[in-house]
Amino acid sequence: MRIIDIVEVTKPIASPIRNAYIDFSKMTASLVAVVTDQVRDGRRVVGYGFNSNGRYGQGGLIRERFRDRILEADPASLLNEDGSNLDAHKIWAAMMQNEKPGGHGERSVAVGTIDMAVWDAIAKIAERPLFRMLADMKGLEANPRVFVYAAGGYYYPGKDDGALRAEMRGYLDRGYNVVKMKIGGASLAEDQRRIEAVLDEIGSEAQLAVDANGRFDLETAIAYAKMLRQYPLFWYEEIGDPLDYQLQAAMAEFYPAPMATGENLFSHQDARNLIRYGGMRPDRDWLQFDCALSYGLVEYLRTLDVLDQAGWSPKRCIPHGGHQMSLNIAAGLGLGGNESYPDLFQPYGGFPDGVQVIDGHITMPELPGIGFEGKSDLISVMRDLAE
């Protein structure tokens, strides 16, 4: 059993939306295929992966370093103990040889993208849904019913409060009961007006989370906290720079309700620093580390260990990114849920065809691998790459 090729293509996921920090007019993502010599149900086993929105495609790093390290390794050194499958941990170690620690940069995105494809291949070789494999691996019971929330509420040219309300109404109509909007890309007064418009629209049918995308300095963060704490928000997200743990810690004094962060922390060491120094509260705050940006599931398992040692439940994790990989981790390892972007970043984000959001939850279908084969627009782009 061996990996015979790893193929990457960088694809546009551009849209005219804007958060407090970036616009997505030139956004791209890497799509990766890990091609094996295995055949199941008359078809070659190919694992697929892609990186989440927010960081760009990683074709350079994948082609120049990580692909070749896997293909040049002795194939037997990449297999599990009894040789019955690939071993994601050994493949990860092969990718990361001759990489210094620290300064994780964006290699974590390149490795995370390949790692997703490796896990997809492993679960397809085993002919099992990944979430069921993960639960068995950890001696847990899988729960195919996963909480999901609708992320949107972006700034958009010409978008007024009416359009924002209509967007949120659309998410409620589709079965969501938590919605998210952007803040920090307008004045505080304008954001307050936008928030009140949304709260008026959703009433008691849903809760609202707000996301500042790391925009605020301490003074602005506090000013917003004082404004926001009068509303019953689901969370106040990524308030300051992702690596400014002292700012995050200071916020607890001004914002007693739940806060969320972590989508721009790319390693278990960064996650551990957030827990050590960021003043995050395990009884109410949320952690959003996204395996597709942060060295993949092999590393995410280390992050979960770090959290466990610090007394944090995996239920406090609701990953960023809106992809099916995190849905599998949530269903298999007991995370608190997953993000989704109902209308954005297609065809990569979202759920297999026919999966409905009911009372803010989806139910995982029993598909081998991550489940990409169940999403027809996505699998056709994937197969164009490697089959």
Candidate list 104, 268, 320, 323, residue with the active-site label: 320
298 token code pair? 């092999």
Contacts of 241 (CB under 8 A, 6+ apart): 214, 247
Among positions 200-219, residues that touch Mg ion (CB under 5 A) are 211
Q: Report the nearest approach of ligand OAA to the CB of residue 340 (Å).
A: 10
Binding mask 335-364 for ligand OAA (x = CB under 6 A): ----x-------------------------
CA distances to 38, 65, 116, 246, 281 from 222, rounded to whole Å, are 56, 43, 38, 13, 18
How many residues form the binding site for ligand OAA (CB under 6 A)? 8
- Residue appearing with tokens 């209308």: 343
- Which position's Cβ is nearest ligand OAA? 19
The smaller minimum CB distance to ligand OAA, of residues 19 and 85, is found at: 19
**Amino acid sitting at position 123:** A
**Is residue 98 part of an annotated ligand binding site?**
no
Binds ligand OAA by CB under 6 A, chosen from 87, 263, 270, 373: 263
**Distance of alpha carbon 310 from alpha carbon 297, whole angstroms:** 20
262 token code pair? 């972590």
Q: Report the nearest approach of ligand OAA to the CB of residue 71 (Å).
A: 33
**Is residue 19 part of an annotated ligand binding site?**
yes
Partner whose binding site includes residue 267, from Mg ion, ligand OAA, none (CB under 5 to 8 Å by kind): none
**Distance of alpha carbon 348 from alpha carbon 328, whole angstroms:** 15
**Is residue 320 part of an annotated ligand binding site?**
yes
Question: How many helices (H) and strands (E) in the chain?
Answer: 13, 11
**Distance of alpha carbon 314 from alpha carbon 316, whole angstroms:** 5
Partner whose binding site includes residue 339, from Mg ion, ligand OAA, none (CB under 5 to 8 Å by kind): ligand OAA
**Distance of alpha carbon 287 from alpha carbon 336, whole angstroms:** 10
**Is residue 100 part of an annotated ligand binding site?**
yes
Contact 5, 61 (CB under 8 A): no
**Is residue 180 part of an annotated ligand binding site?**
yes
> Residue 340, SS3?
strand
Is 320 noted as a catalytic residue in this protein?
yes
Candidate list 104, 124, 182, 375, residue with the active-site label: 182
Site for Mg ion, rule CB under 5 A:
211
Sequence ranges of the binding site for substrate = 19, 53, 100, 154, 180, 237, 263, 320
Sequence ranges of the binding site for Mg(2+) = 211, 237, 263
Q: Which residues are catalytic?
A: 182, 320
